[in-house]
Chains A and B, each alone.
Chain A
């Protein structure tokens, strides 16, 4: 069974801090994704990575960056946290084989920026 692990379930940070959210998957998946989930807006894609050291912007990349130095790990970075980045952050991974492969999600990190 696919396991996607996000390092923290809950995180509280202050405005202006640099924040790191970590995600690790154990299935050697090529593709990894970061979303934020907000009530009434569903999931919105921040960044994704097709493979190691590759990254592409999603729909709402402003204020975020990512790092994929190893295949199993995909990090989301808030360069200078702001209150409008308070949200639930979801990481997902996907095997890049066939068009119908689903994404597998972690439990999420609920981030509060004070």
Chain B
């Protein structure tokens, strides 16, 4: 079965620390990849997406992600986190031949200490 795995359930960092959140998926075909963020009390928002081309994609608020096809991975990174980055982060995969359906990972809760 298709699945998306986020390795960390809860990450705690101090401000200015670097962030990397892991995401791996199991699907052998072409995919589109997304990272969504959910700030406390708010709706899910798109951080960034990979469709094709350059495997390093940049999103909003200084986030970036790298698609490594051979590793079936799409890890999210930020060089220096801020307290306002405290949120839950979801990786999602859209298999090419399944319309608009997304398969979500379990989510990673990020807590940034001021």
Give A residues with C-beta under 8 Å from B: 4, 31, 33, 35, 40-45, 48, 50, 58, 90, 92, 94, 96, 99-108
Contacts and interface: CB of A to CB of B under 8 A. Distances in A.
A103 B45 CA distance: 9
Residue among B6, B90, B104 with max Cβ neighbours from chain A (10 Å)? B104
A8 B94 CA distance: 28
Interface of B: 4, 6, 9, 32, 34, 36, 42-46, 49, 51, 90, 92, 94, 96, 99-107
A32 to B, nearest CB: 9
Contacts of A99: 32, 51, 94, 96
Contacts of B51: 99-100
Given A94-B100, A96-B100, A102 B49 contact: yes
Contacts, number: 59
A45 B100 contact: no
B11 to A, nearest CB: 15
A105 B105 contact: no
Given A42-B104, A48-B101, A50-B99, A102 B46 contact: yes
Given A40-B9, A99-B51, A100-B32, A31 B100 contact: yes
A45 B101 CA distance: 8
Nearest to B32: A100
Contacts of A106: 43
